Chains A and B, each alone.
Chain A
Amino acid sequence: MSERTLYDKVWDAHTVQELPNGQTQLFVGLHMIHEVTSPQAFGMLEERGYEVAFPDRTYATTDHIVPTDDRSRPFDDEQAEKMLSALEGNVEEHGVEFFGLDSGRQGIVHIVGPELGLTQPGMTVVCGDSHTSTHGALGAVGMGIGTSQIRDVFATGCIAADKQDVRRIEVTGTLDEGVYAKDLILTIIRQLGVEGGIGYVYEYGGEAVRDLGIEGRLALCNMSIEGGARAGYVNPDEKTFEYLRGREYAPDGDDWDEAVEYWRSIASDDDAKYDDTVEIDGDAIQPMVTWGVNPGQVIGIDETVPEPAETNDPEAARKAQEHMDVSPGDSMKGVDVDVAFLGSCTNGRLSDLREAARVLEASGREADDGVRALAVPGSQTVRRKAEEEGLDEIFKHAGVQWREPGCSMCIAMNGDRIEDGELCVSSSNRNYVGRQGSENGKTVLASPATLAASVVRGEIADPREVFG
């Protein structure tokens, strides 16, 4: 069993009691909700006549079903309108703060929490969404939960949880120019497998992780779940504190010093004990692109699609290659691109938009005629800042559509989707069959820079060549 890690400390500080069913009752420091998974839980709450126990620790936004073009109400999609109205009614009735469409702060739940300073080191953060692992980038323990657990949190401020093992992932060296946190996490998932993290929480550390900015760490922790780990975190450091300073919900005044002291104290001790340790060579990582239908089916841009027999699940690999219409020995570089989706809770932050814009500018080129490209900022805050820097002009000039914030084509619930057999280079986190709205569509996961390079070339391209 792990000892003296951040996870152990946070777990202990939030333990209310051991439950008779063998689980631990864990207090929830921050509960984020959105329109898709909360209404049923509110319904169950009302069935029992309970109120929300800790409304002050609960915050809502809307992301999955919101249109990214015409947002006038009522929405064209009746069901989407119904879901958002239901959320609006519920937050009103239960006294929960809501970052709605006209708040100036609406956005993808995992972007909004950190950027408003709601997410803080040492907290337990839960949300009815598997990418809650994202919040670990600030030294919190973020866990995705199901609908009955959302009800638990509403009614009791707690979840019933089982403690996981802790795996330390030590990333040595430095990432090359053109290589990002996204490439790092895809490398980790390839190495450990999409189920490798089951039963574990991942602690990311080492030189390459320390060097990442907070937004890179958010992308890294975001995809812990694609590697099978319910949560992933980075120990808080000076960068974390600087990131939080001055944010709307971060502590200030005297509280600030007290907070920083506490945040330092909850980081893993130097002599912490881990259940497992893995080392990753950061120097060796290239820009990564997926060739299959899960995030572990991925190669460096200079590599070729593997023989199914060389993968850890040959049968799945064979099917994936059939779906993606690629063969062993093929290069992904040069494959025709129809759609590009820049956004999502993985790579929809300011630094992601900047990197993509930088590639567009460096190439001096516009989107290839054959490519339909969308830039969807992760939140209204991100959108505003990007516009202040003129990034929107770079995108528009390059022929990339500049949209309103939401999950958009990451999950294709809002009308943004790929059609038929289109191939989409996506900065999101899941390339499952049908994920982007078309059963025979193809998704290639990549970093924003690789995406931008592919947009100008009209085919999958190496961002390092466009820079060079």
Chain B
Amino acid sequence: MTTKETVPFGVTLAPSADQRAARRRALRAIAAAGAAVLMLGALDPSARADDAIKIGILLPLSGNFAENGQQTLTGLKMYFDEVGNAAAGHKLDLIVEDTQGKPDVAVTKARKLVERDEAQVLTGVVSSGEALAVNEYSRDNKVPLVFSGDAGADELTMPGPLLNPYVVRVTQNGRTVSAAAADWAYKKGWRKVTLIASDYAGGVDVMHGFAQSFCRLGGKVTQENWPPIATADFGPYLTNLDRTADAVVTFNPGADGLRLGRQYSEFGLKGKLPVLDIYGTVVYESNLAQLGDAVLGMYSSLFYTPMLKTPENERFVTEYRKRMGSMPSNEGPNGYVGAHALVDAIKAVNGDLNDKMKFIAALKAVKFPSPKGDISLDKYGMVIQTMYIREAEKVDGQIGNVPIATYPNVDQFWPFSEAEFESYKYTYKDLKGSLTDCGKVLAKK
């Protein structure tokens, strides 16, 4: 069939069949492209029918928090690999971005992951600074966020100005690890303790958590020592330490914990004043071999220890050591549990993450045994998990944190009810320097 195309001025052109077909193809392509551009503008990117589910991972892989980031990433990947990087018939695309441990970089990378890579959910995040920044981005842009890195600021999952309906946290908060420590310390018969904690919001948060529970039981903090972060020499603090106390409670993350561990025994305190190390910052797994006998007998509290004899944990530790060549501390299991929660929730919504509130509800409903113990979440999206009191002992020639007491199902307000917790007048921000005053610590609103 021949068609004549009429153009202005009455000139008739009869293009070849080839030319016409090519032109039609070109027109169609342009129309399709135009339509696509229009649709892109009108639609939420996450609503596009795409088979793979994209998960944006925000972790510090360079800078001072690089080790925490790397370990969390290993944990995340271990679980995703275990399920073949797929859930509910969808492939899981992991896109990893380095936050450098800086809040501004973290937000830039979050934006890149969501807006350019079309990630439907974000996970990871280590430092509290990053956590607060990414939390704000997630809330403003309605992006589901699963904290699977340390990110321990209490307020992130408590009623208050920071609470974000799009957030779930499977890792930890500042106060519960300390509350368990306080309970155990009191039961052990300690009534007066002194404390050494890094001078920053996290340190005060943790020690307030301890003092609050310890005071309520009838104990007392006799002295507060707040060495700044990156204190080179703990000598002045150790020399001034209250030696009439029953024990010293510590929280000194990073290189500080390693230094404190060495210097504590050098200054002759080991064996004189027992140590209760909240979060295991001195007896951190990579410190143990380096500190050697200096740490033997140190008590610590955490929601994990690689020495747990459960099938979930033994399997986890074997695989983790294969990948990293070292014992896991808290970060690896946290990442692993984060990935597990994500996969379970994706399965529960059958791979459809478009209804964000439904996805968040599915996340909050997850319940499974993990290397850390049994995991479930409360209505604010905060993990309910087991706390362990550990003692550094030599097992088969290696020093490890052996569990000696267990506190199952600890929620974020434990040992208080939410109502009782909210009835206290002062938060940790008001109490640095007043933790020795139980009257003020326990003052009601």
Chain A complexes with chain B: no
Chain A residues packing against B (C-beta within 8 Å)? none
Which residues on B are within 8 Å of A, measured CB to CB?
none
